[in-house]
Amino acid sequence: MFRRFYPKEYLESTYLIDFEKMYRQGYRAIIFDIDNTLVPHGFPADERAIALFRRLKKIGYKTTMLSNNKEPRVKMFCDAVGEPYIYKAGKPNPQNYRAAMEKMGTDEKNTLFVGDQIFTDVWGANKAGIYAILVKPIHPKEEIQIVLKRYLEKIVLSCYFRETRKCRRKS
């Protein structure tokens, strides 16, 4: 019932993803959400985020930020990390996921998506056919509409964990 919302992977942090391994597996581009995926909501890019994008460039990745936020917020972060962006993206609509891939010259087979929300980030990536990695939110302080969605996310995540445990026991 909830499978359309399931990520391919669920990790503690963006900063724990083995991007080198994913590159060896053929991925060449990454679309990122910003708030609570790379930095706390509304925060500027910090040294950790800047270092991550340097590392990704060195590996060979192309990246684009995809945010439902307004341009001033998104631009502030992206200028600091030196990466392109799409603001007011309308996630979970897959249209701007596809636009990001087009800008990077990639497709759904060699593009990853990393975000912290199921009903916008992961669902949109799944609708676009992209490998979606869900990460735990960096900081608990969030806007009220996101706080409310987190309660529903807990239901989806509990089903996801139950199913992934069953699959691991079978193999």
Instruction: Render pLDDT for 28-63 as a digit per residue (tens, 0 to 9).
Output: 999 999 999 999 999 999 999 999 999 999 999 999
Global pTM? Answer: 0.89
**Structure tokens, 95:** 């249209």
Residues in CB range of 165: below 8 A, 6 or more apart: none
At residue 1, the pLDDT reads 66
- At CA 140, angle to CA 68 and CA 111, rounded to 5? 45
Tell me whether strands 9-11 and 131-135 are parallel, antiparallel or unpaired.
parallel
The tens-digit pLDDT sequence of the chain (171 residues) is 688 899 999 999 999 999 999 999 999 999 999 999 999 999 999 999 999 999 999 999 999 999 999 999 999 999 999 999 999 999 999 999 999 999 999 999 999 999 999 999 999 999 999 999 999 999 766 665 666 677 778 888 888 878 877 655 554
Q: Could you give the angle at the alpha carbon of 39 between the alpha carbons of 37 and 44, nearest 5°?
A: 140
Q: List C-alpha distances in Å: 110 to 27, 89, 95, 129, 137.
A: 4, 21, 17, 10, 25
Q: Locate 27 and state its tokens.
A: 């991925």
DSSP state of 80: H
